[in-house]
Amino acid sequence: MTAIEPRSADGQAATDRSPGDAPRRSFGAVARDYLALTKPRIIELLLVTTFPVMFLADRGVPSAWLILATLIGGSLSAGSANSLNCYLDRDIDRLMHRTEGRPLATGAITPRAGLIFGVTLGVISVLWLGLLVNWLSAALSFGAIVLYVGFYTLLLKRRTSQNIVWGGIAGCMPTLIGWSAVTGSLSWSALILFLVVFFWTPPHYWPLSMRFRDDYANAGVPMLPVVAEDVAVAKQIVAYTWVTVLSTLALVPVGDMGVIYTVIALVSGVVFLREAHVLLHRARTGASYKVLKPMRLFHYSISYLTLVFVGVAVDPLVHIVF
C-alpha cells in the first residue's frame, strides 16, 4: 500500500516543493497548524480527569497556582505526545478521511519541524512540572508520553486489535498526575480513578472505530471493529462498560465519597450501561450502520466521564460546606 502524496491547489505534491516554492503563510495560519498537531480536543478530555482529582486529593480547594501549573504542564505533556503521534502516523493519516487534513499529512508542517516541536514540548512539560509542581508528577508525565508514543503508537497500534485497550494506559495517567501534584504521592483512590479511565477507554473508542471502520481498514490499522463482527465488538463494549461503572462505585468506600458522587456515578452509569446494551441489541439484529448508531454511545461516553469526574470534584466540597 502506497501513501497518498498531499497536493497543493496547483496539483504539485507538497512534499516535492523546495523551500523557495512554498507560499508564504501568515503567523496565525502557522500557529493554528502547530496547535492542531497537539489535538486540543483530546487535551480537553485529559484535563477533565486531572482537575477534579486535585480537589479530591486535597479534600478541598487546592491553590490556584498549583492547579494552573499542573494543568499547563499536563497540557504541554499531552501536546507533546499527540504531536509525536502525528509525526509517526503521518503516513496512515494521509489514507484516512478523518485525519487527512492534519498538518503533517498535508505537508503544511514538515516532518522534521513536527518532530522538533513534539520533543520540545515534552522537555518543557517535564521541566515545568518538576520545577513548579513536583518531580513525581513530572516523572508520571514523562511516562505518559513514552507510553503513548512508544507503547501505543509504535508497538501496538498497527499490530493488534487490543491496541486501544493497553495503549489507553497513557490516557489514564492524568488521574495520577493530578493526585501526585497535590499530595506528592499516590493512593488507592488515585489507582481506582486510573482504572475508571482505563476500563472506560474501549467503550469510548470502539464506537468511534466502528464509525470509521473503512478508514482504519484502508490504512491497515487492525482496530477491533475492523477485524471482528459488530456483535463481538458490542459484547466487549458492554463488558468494559459494566466494569467501568463498577469501578466508579468502588471509589465510594475507598475514597470515602458522599451522596453527591454516589448518585452521579449511579445515574450516569445506568445510562451508560443502557446505551451499551442498546448498541449490542442493534448489532444482534444485523442493523446497518445508520441504525446501529455507534456515535451515540461515543458522544455519551464523553458526557459520562465528565459527569463522574465532576462528582469527584464536587463531593469533597460539599463535605466542607456541610
Residue ranges of domains in the chain, CATH in brackets:
34-183 (1.10.357.140), 187-322 (1.20.120.1780)
- Judge contact between 118 and 87, C-beta under 8 A: yes
> What are 113's three cell numbers?
519541524
Q: Tens of pLDDT along 27-51?
A: 888 999 999 999 999 998 889 999 9
With cut-offs at 50, 70 and 90, classify the pLDDT of residue 322.
low
Q: Cα-flanking dihedrals φ and ψ of residue 7, to 5°?
A: -125, 150
What's the distance, CA 38 to chain centroid?
A: 11
What does the alpha-carbon distance between residue 67 and residue 62 come to, in Å, rounded to a whole number? 7
Residue 9, pLDDT > 80, answer no
CA gap 178, 160 in Å, rounded: 30
Does the predicted model carry a pTM greater than 0.85? yes
For residue 266, the model assigns a pLDDT of 98
Burial 188-214 (b: 16+ CB within 10 A, else e): ebbebbbbbbbbbbbbbbbbbbbbbbe
**What does pLDDT average to over the chain?**
91
In percent, how much of the chain has pLDDT > 70? 91
* pLDDT (0 to 100) of residue 321: 52
Confidence at residue 17, expressed as pLDDT on a 0 to 100 scale = 44
Among 301, 294, 297, 270, smallest CA distance to 197 is for 301
Nearest to 167 by CA among 92, 81, 245: 81
Other C-beta atoms within 10 Å of 16: how many? 11
Model confidence pLDDT, tens digit, residues 208-262 = 999 999 999 999 999 999 999 999 999 999 999 999 999 999 999 999 999 999 9
Q: Which residues contact 257 (CB under 8 A, 6 or more apart)?
A: 251, 311, 315
